[in-house]
Structures are given as C-alpha cells and as structure tokens.
C-alpha cells in the first residue's frame, strides 16, 4: 500500500488538478497489486471524493487526522463520523507532526485509533523514534511503548486489518532517509511487537509501511524488504508524476 500524506499542502483547486493528473497516469496494472491512497487536507476531501467517485479513479480517499469524539464542543476539530460520511477509508493516526507539534499523547493516539475503528475506517498508525532516541539506543523501547499504548485492548481482527507506518522522526522531510536495512529492522520489530500484543495472525496480516524521505529512487529498495509492505510518502506525493513513479517502483516482485 502506497499512501500520499499531503500534510498542509494543496488547496482544493490544486487537489482537483493533482488527483485528476493521478487518474490520468495510474494504469490498471499499476494498481492491480498496490493499494494507493491520498490524504489531502480536510478542506479538499469533498472535492477529491466527488472526483474519485464520479470518474471511478483507482485512488482510495484518506484523511490525516481526526478528533476522537463523534461530536461536541471541540472548536476547530473534525470528527471521525464526518470523515466516514464523506467516504474516507483510511485515517493517519498519531503522525509524528501531531505528536510533536500539537502535543498528541500516546493516550490521545489510542483514543483516536479506537474512534476511527468505531466508524468502520482503517487507521494508519504512525510510530517512530526521534534522532535523540535512536542515538541513545532507545528505538525499540520507543516503538514498543507507542505500539503497546495504541493497540492494547483492540480486537485482534481489527489489528490485523490495520496499517502501521514506521516513520523515524529524523527521516521525515529531511532527505535523510533510513537505509532499507534499518527500515527492515524496525518494521520487523513492529511486526513482532504486534504479534505479542495481538497474536501471531494479526502480526502476519498487518501491513507495515516505511515513511521518511521516500522518493522514486529509493522506493523499490524498501519494498524489496520482507517486512516492508508499503510506503507513506510526504513531499514526493504532492506531484502526481513523482507519486506514480513511487507506486510503480512498489509493485510486488515477490
Ligand atoms: P516526507 O516523505 O516528506 O519525508 O514525509 C514523510 C511523512 O511524514 C509522511 O507521513
């Protein structure tokens, strides 16, 4: 699964152009074995949904975040119910920018994950260590804490259907991508942690993405690793041509 997280880029007019361009470039064979999702800002979702549905484009609608309540006095927030009503199928939960810039705690991540599931959508749960944590040899400890906090208590069947994105904070938007070997080590650790929290079946079934400075040149290297099942792409997903190259480089070869 290859997902484009647009972050706070592209207004709804730009979104229209980008998704139309994606629709022109993506061939049936590109999406035969790869799920492709886009995660535009909230103000673009209705526009993208209308376009994708009307033209039956092979793109899955995703969001970047939501509140954990269904409704209420939460000024400025968007509820999971609103997203589900719009046909959103995947929601990024606990992205490092939400955790670090907006103070999203492990508890808030768990509540949001539960809310997304409650509305029949699939979370893309983001985990990852900071550069300092990595330098201190605390990568696995941090991943384990984030996974345990988010997944404890979730139904194993729901966990099996989820996506987890391993996004080392130091690799996000820096051009300093993890090596394929480092990404594999971390994704394998994520899989083993999921197995210990939700059972072997969930660990085998869950899809694990790598994210952090992914581009058309390095995508295939990650996808060649046995425990990397997909990519979560930021900057390189904003341009349809570059995103489609990443999708093509990700087609399974095994
Ligand atoms: P970049 O691909 O721009 O490094 O962003 C990664 C990311 O945070 C995707 O969620």
> What are the 10-residue block averages of pLDDT along the chain, 254 residues in total?
98 98 97 97 98 98 98 98 98 98 97 98 98 98 97 95 98 97 98 96 98 98 98 98 98 70
Asked whether 168 lines ligand 1 (CB < 6 A), one says no
User: Is any ligand 1 atom within 6 A of the Cβ of residue 210?
Assistant: no
Residues ≥6 apart with Cβ < 8 Å to 149? 106, 107, 109, 110
Tell me the C-alpha distance between 50 and 228, whole Å.
32
Give the burial string for 132-161 (b: 16+ CB within 10 Å, else e): ebbeeeebbebbbebbebbbeebebebbbe
Residue 182 alpha carbon to ligand 1 centre in Å: 17
Look at residue 254 in the predicted model and tell me its pLDDT: 47
**d(Cα 148, Cα 164) in Å, to the nearest integer?**
13
Q: Which pLDDT does position 252 carry in this prediction?
A: 78
Q: Is 100 in the pocket of ligand 1 (CB under 6 A)?
A: no
60: domain CATH number is: 3.20.20.70
Structurally, how many domains does the chain consist of? Answer: 1
Q: Which domain does 43 fall in, by range?
A: 2-253
Give the catalytic positions in this structure.
Answer: 95, 167
- Burial code (b: 16+ CB inside 10 Å, e: under 16) for 162-173 equals bbbbbbbbbbbe
Alpha-carbon separation of residue 76 from 45, 66, 73, 220, 230 (angstroms): 16, 11, 9, 39, 32
Tell me which of 126, 173, 219, 242 to substitute to probe ligand 1's pocket, judged by most ligand atoms within 8 Å of the beta carbon. Answer: 173
What CA–CA distances, in Å, run from 221 to 134, 139, 181, 185, 233?
A: 22, 22, 9, 14, 14
State residue 253's pLDDT score. 66
- Spacing, Cα 172 to ligand 1 middle (Å): 5
Best residue among 128, 212, 216 to mutate for probing ligand 1, ranked by most atoms within 8 Å of CB? 212
Question: Does the beta carbon of 127 sit less than 6 angstroms from any atom of ligand 1?
Answer: no
Q: What angle do CA 16, 46, 33 make, to 5 degrees?
A: 70
- pTM summary value: 0.97
DSSP 208-223: EEEESS--TTTHHHHH
Q: Which residues pair with 63 in a beta bridge?
A: 91
């Amino acid at each position: 699964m290859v997902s484009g997280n647009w972050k706070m880029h592209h207004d709804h007019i730009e979104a229209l152009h980008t998704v139309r361009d994606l629709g022109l470039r993506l061939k049936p064979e590109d999406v035969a074995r790869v799920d492709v999702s886009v995660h535009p800002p909230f103000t673009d979702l209705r526009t993208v949904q209308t376009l994708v549905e009307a033209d039956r484009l092979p793109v899955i609608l995703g969001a970047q975040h939501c509140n954990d309540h269904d409704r209420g006095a939460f000024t400025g927030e968007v509820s999971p119910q609103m997203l589900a009503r719009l046909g959103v199928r995947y929601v990024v939960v606990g992205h490092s920018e939400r955790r670090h810039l907006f103070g999203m705690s492990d508890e808030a991540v768990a509540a949001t994950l539960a809310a997304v599931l409650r509305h029949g959508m699939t979370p893309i749960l983001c985990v990852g260590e900071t550069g300092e944590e990595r330098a201190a040899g605390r990568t696995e400890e941090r991943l384990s804490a984030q996974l345990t906090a988010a997944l404890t208590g979730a139904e194993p069947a729901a966990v099996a259907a989820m996506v987890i994105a391993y996004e080392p904070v130091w690799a996000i938007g820096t051009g300093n991508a993890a090596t394929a070997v480092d990404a594999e080590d971390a994704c394998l650790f994520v899989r083993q942690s999921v197995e210990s929290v939700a059972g072997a079946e969930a660990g085998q079934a869950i899809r694990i993405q790598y994210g952090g400075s992914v581009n058309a040149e390095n995508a295939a290297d990650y996808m060649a690793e046995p425990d990397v099942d997909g990519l979560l792409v930021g900057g390189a997903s904003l341009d349809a041509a570059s995103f489609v190259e990443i999708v093509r480089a990700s087609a399974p070869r095994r």
